[in-house]
Amino acid sequence: MTGASECKHIQKFYSPSKHTSMKLSKYNSEEELFDLYQAGHITLVDFIVRQSPDMEQEFNDYCKDEDILQNEDSARKFLQHRQQLFDEAFSQEHI
């Protein structure tokens, strides 16, 4: 079951669609993964690592650097970290 705060955080970037019945492959589009996560078919960790090899590696590196296990809590922290980096980069462009 998905938490409201996780869905709210993810919804900043992704719009739901009608892909919740699609097959899960090694990597899926963010939109497909959002739908699957929102429907409770995948975990937040799956949502991250099934986006792309680069995202999977970035999450692995983040967990290693922070010395934390890959779980729902670390996935939430990773997404918050990425959001913070995005916000900082965006604000620097508008100074």
Structure confidence by residue, pLDDT tens digits, 51-66: 999 999 999 999 999 9
Does 36 have pLDDT greater than 50? yes
* Domain hosting residue 13, numbered range: 4-93
Identify the weakest region by mean pLDDT among 14-23, 33-42, 66-75, 80-89: 14-23
Nearest to 62 by CA among 85, 42, 95: 85
CA contacts within 13 A on the Cβ side of 79: 23
* pLDDT (0 to 100) of residue 91: 84
- pTM more than 0.85: no
Name every residue whose Cβ is closer than 8 Å to that of residue 28 and which is 6 or more positions away in sequence: 22, 36, 50, 51
**Mean pLDDT, the chain, whole residue set:** 81
Q: How sure is the predictor about 23, in pLDDT bands with cuts at 50, 70 and 90?
A: low
Total of domains in the chain: 1
